[in-house]
Amino acid sequence: MPPLDLSIGLGTSGLDDPETCTETVVAALEAGYRHVDTAQMYDNEAAVGEGIAQSDVDRDDVVVATKVHPENLAPDDVRETTRASLDRLGLDRVDLLYVHWPIRAYDAAATLPAFDDLRDAGVTDHVGVSNFTPGLLREAREILDAPIAAHQVECHPRFRQPALRDLAAEFDHRLVGYSPLGRGEMLDDPAILEIAERNDLSPAVVALAWALDRGIVPIPKARGDHVRENLRAVDVDLPDEDLDTIDALEPGDRQIDPDDAAWNR
């Protein structure tokens, strides 16, 4: 299996209206995105699949990722609902299949072999995990036959995930950052605004350029003109002093919390 080539992606959480979701996916692919992220939990896989189908971009040039709902992580449910995801997406495989949260029906010893089975069957090319602690990540690596290709977590300039970034480098997987704009808070952050003004950039592009420079694959969700604007970050090289300033920012609170204490075990 070739390595997973992940670039900045389109996050689709919150794109609940099917028509808007499909239009956004088409616009993103036409703008140059080649990575689209969805999930069973988002209830928009069909609309995402329609956008991929309507686009002129070749399917094989797009990394399509989806995630198995925490309630569907019993082994038989993993296999059954992933195939249902493929039906909704209109695809014969996904490039990347994640455990969405290690909570509710998640049991490492039972859940993870089902992901191996799906990879062996060609249902997914790569296996990923999402919202794992360092301990749960190490446990998953011991159980899975497949290498972990990506770990998706919340990550932005005031929630920088240093421990998980270090583990991504150690374990040779990609760290994918959702909420890379802190659910909009980075757009009004005084430090980010100052750097943006000094470099004639938008705050969103500054936050995304920082992520890319630090080896994080951001998946911002956006609509309209923001889809193309966010992609500008790929070509931005922030000065070292600005990157260092961001690295020294006072950490903030995470924007998304798990709703089950089992995640903290």
Residue numbers annotated as active site: 42
**Phi then psi for 27, rounded to 5 degrees?**
-60, -40
Smallest Cα–Cα separation from 91: which of 116, 119, 123?
123
- In the sheet that holds 216-218, the strands lie side by side as 10-11, 35-37, 63-68, 94-99, 124-130, 148-154, 174-178, 216-218
Q: What is the DSSP letter of 188?
A: G
Say how far apart CA 93 and CA 83 lie, in whole Å. 9
CA separation, residue 246 to residues 45, 189, 193, 252 (Å): 35, 11, 11, 12
Per DSSP, which regions of the chain are E strands? 10-11, 35-37, 63-68, 94-99, 124-130, 148-154, 174-178, 216-218
Is the CB of residue 70 less than 8 Å from the CB of residue 131? no
